[in-house]
Structure formats: structure tokens, C-alpha cells
Chain A
């Protein structure tokens, strides 16, 4: 546990020292800000709503989250510091979980900055705090899965750009393909798509419904991806 925390702290220090960290946070706030403005969430005379924000944010996150995690493990490979870590008494799992937690903390800080939108809304009219709260829980759960996936992508390669693409492209497909395919297919395929329907599960949460199955889906997904990442780091020794 101590090792995991130490790795997490070190990673956070690096994240906040690197320009990437600030580029990612400002990029995310810029994009979501534009979304909120463009979708006229605050038009006078209409009820203020964050529906558009919560509808589009998962899409933004599929690209932004892998940018947070892309350096997590790949940079250790690139700089060779993986050698100093793997020859110290740190297990592969501690390394992976430490990296995950650091990215999660960074993500939470980034998401917390968007709380400004519901606060603004509440100044314009009556905000639905219940729905907002469950939406944020949804963002947290979905984010955890995305981050674990990004850390896994980062464990594959020493190249950050490759790690980013390997994280973002499958996440984009996962998040959106199922969502758009469900109405067009039937039978077993439909059931499969409904199960892995990240967007649909998140959408339900923005409406205030947090189901146990969705929580299990997201947390389970995160655990699975972290497990795979650990195996990948382990297998890298055998080269």
C-alpha cells in the first residue's frame, strides 16, 4: 500500500510538472465550455439545463482521458526508469494501481472544475441537484473505467502518441458504437451491445438512476483492465 501511494504521489508530481497536464485540463475545460455555450444551455427564457453537456462529455472524455494516462507507464519504458522501479521491491500490480490512482486524482480535479456549470445554472434558474449529483457519480465511475483502459494502453508501448491512440480509438468505438448499434440489430447481438453500452449506462445516470449493474459494470471494467495492464507489464520483462 505504501508503495502504491508513493508511486501515485510521484506520478502526480510529474503530471503537474509536465505541460501535458495543463494542456489536457485547459483543453477539456475549453471544449466543455464551448459545448455549454453552443448548446445554449443558458438561453434566457428557457429552463437552464446541462443535458447537452452531459450528453457530449463522454465523447470528449474518450479522447481526453487517454491523454491523461498516455505517459503513465510508457514514459517509464521510454526513460528507462522502469528498470529502477522493477528492481526495487515494488510489484507490477503496485506500479499499475499507483499509476491508475494518480490519473484518477488528476481526473477528479479536472472534473471538479466543471462544477462551475451547475453552479452557474443554479444562478439562472432552478438546477436539478439530484440529477447533477448522480451525473457526477456517473462521470466518476465511467472515468475510472476509461482511466484503467488508458493505463492499459500505456503499458503496451514506450511511445506516448501510440499509447494515446491505442487508448482513444477503442474507447471511442466502445462508447459510441454500441450506443448507435442497439436500435439497428436484434437478438443476441443486441443483448451484447446493451451490456457494453457505456453511453447508455451513463445516460441513465444523468437522469438520476444509478443502477447496481452499471456500477458493477464500470468498476469491474476498471479492475479487469488494470489486471490486464499488470500482466502486460509483467510480460514486458520477458523480452
Chain B
């Protein structure tokens, strides 16, 4: 549904997106995750035909965004980051207008407006001027607009930013629901958000894709860098030497705490059973043994921090 190859975009001499490639299959729901200024909006604007790219190819719904821009626009529903609307219009007037420029006839339009107002819980504000609506309702109007022509592809730029927790939850469940019959790509700078809604995550930073995969795959990668933690009662040197002997262990560090040794074992694989057996053999007691929970959050923060460090160098 979405194919991007070596896409680059410069603002003046400043590179906002640097030769990125990725693809989104039909029916997928993909999260585009990155810190502020990563290039999410820029990429999305290229995909929605708002900005032309400087280099590379992109196609959406089987049409090239540069050559067949009108075809792409027909098949994409887009919620821009700032949710721009006309404050002087009423919600119904706005949706009528958007339906018209989407090429819907009168009857189709009325049906579509009925459908999206129901889906986006807009019935109670349908005849109010948009300028008087709260941020949450404006967001819903934007979403309703993106859905009005029942597009194959939905592209949502930070769909829950600025919403209260209740509305965030509602919007996420709506997006998950929509993913059943649309291909969805959404951007966010909040990891739990994409974890909660998306099957697959693409992490972008400083214009480059730094990681991508399903949440499970990413977690697997993250787990590789993590530790097994144990609390053992035994002689410090003996315990360290004994644990180092276990295959797969790359490093062991320990500190004494209220009579127990708190040991952190750096390994790539699961060594919990081997640790237990070593303890049995040497007569140490164990009161805790666990693999440190693989946190995507840590991973994401690490990526962002290392990028920030690079930037200041």
C-alpha cells in the first residue's frame, strides 16, 4: 500500500529526511515513531502529496506520489498534525464541503456524513461552528474528514496529541477499529501510543530509520542488550568467578547490600537455570533471579539520547 525508496527531503540545505526506505502492506497498521524534529511530518507530507521530495520514490495505493498525485490523493485520508479547519464553518457544512471536493454526490455525501459523525461521535456538535469546539472535538472533525471518502489508506499525524486520557483511549480504540478495513499509518513521539495501537513500528530519528519491526521483534532486539539480575548470598569473589564460568555470560558485576550480593549478569541468552545450578553446586542461597524486563521505552530513549549526544558533538 505504501512503498518508500531512498526518499530524501531538504529544507534549504537542511536535511529533514535522509534516504529512508520502508513499506506498509495492505491492511497493516504501522506506527511511525520518533522524537520531535525526527522528520515524521515531513515524510507524511511527501506521502500525502503536500510537499514534493527532493530525491527517491514513493508510492501510495499503487500510484506514484510525484507522477500520479491526484490518484494518490483520492485514495488517502489524511489528518494533519495541526488539524487545520475553518473556524467559521459549522461541522456539517465543513463535512459537506469536504465530501464535495472528494467527488461524492449528494446522496453519497449525506450517507458518508451520517457514517463518519457516528463513528467519530460528532452527532451532538454537528450543527455547531467549528471555532467553538474543544480540541478533542476538532480532532474528531479532522478524523471524520479523513474518513469521509472511505479511503484505502489512512495517514494520521499525531492523532491523539493534546487529548485528555479518556479521549486518548477512545481515539486509540477507534483507530484500531479502523485498521480492520483500512491500511493505517500513524505517527507519534510517544511509544506507549504506538505500542497500544500498532502491529508494527518504524522508528525514525534525525531523518533516518533506526529500527523497524513488530513490537515483539523490537522487544527481542532490545532484550539482547539486557541483563539477568540475581540476589545471592555467598562470597563475592567466588560468586563472580562461578557465574563468569557459565557459557554465554559476558560480564558480571556485583555489589553488597544488606548481607546479600546484588549481581547483574550481562548475557545474550537466558542463563537463569545455569545460575540456579551454580548456586546449588556451591551452596549459595538465592532470593531473587529474573531477567530484566525488556523495555522498548528504554530502547527508544536510548536511541533519542544517543542522537542528541551526536548532535552536540
Tell me the minimal C-beta distance from B93 to chain A in angstroms: 7
Task: Tell me, in angstroms, the Cα distance from A228 to B100 when the chains sit together.
Answer: 26
Q: Give me the 9 closest cross-chain CB pairs, A-B, nearest first.
A: A80-B84, A6-B100, A17-B88, A87-B48, A81-B84, A89-B73, A83-B80, A10-B97, A87-B78
* From B45, B51, B100, residue with most partner A Cβ within 10 Å: B100
Chain B residues whose CB sits within 8 angstroms of the CB of A10 once the complex forms: 86, 89, 97
Tell me if A237 and B50 are in contact (CB < 8 A).
yes
Assess whether B61 is interfacial by the CB under 8 Å rule. no
Chain B contact-residue range equals: 20 to 34
- Could you tell me if A3 and B101 are in contact, using CB atoms closer than 8 angstroms? yes
A-B contact pairs, 25 of them (CB 8 A): A2-B100, A2-B103, A3-B101, A6-B97, A13-B93, A14-B86, A14-B88, A17-B88, A79-B87, A83-B50, A83-B80, A84-B78, A84-B84, A84-B85, A85-B101, A87-B48, A87-B76, A87-B80, A88-B73, A88-B102, A89-B70, A89-B73, A90-B101, A238-B52, A239-B11
B54-96 toward A: CB 8 Å interface, digit per residue (1/0)?
A: 0000000000000000100110101010101111110001000
The one of A6, A81, A91, A238 that contacts B86, using a Cβ cutoff of 8 Å = A81
Chain B residues positioned under 8 Å from A91 (CB to CB)? 70
| Contact between chains at B86 and A79 (CB < 8 Å) | yes
A159 contacts chain B at the CB level, 8 A cutoff: no
Tell whether B243 is near chain A: CB-to-CB under 8 Å: no
Q: Hey, which chain A residues are within 8 Å of B88, CB to CB?
A: 13-14, 17-18
B225 to chain A minimum Cβ distance, whole angstroms, is 40
A contact patch SS: helix
Most chain B Cβ neighbours within 10 Å, of A80, A81, A88: A88
Q: Is the CB of B98 within 8 A of A88?
A: yes
**Chain A residues, Cβ within 8 Å of B50:** 83, 86-87, 237
Q: How many A residues face the partner with a CB closer than 8 A?
A: 26
Chain B 37-56, CB-CB to A under 8 Å as 1, else 0, gives 00000000100111110000
Name B230-264 residues within 8 Å CB distance of A.
none
Chain B residues with CB under 8 A of A80: 80, 82, 84
Complex Cα distance, B86 from A13, in Å, reads: 11
A7 close to B (CB within 8 Å): yes
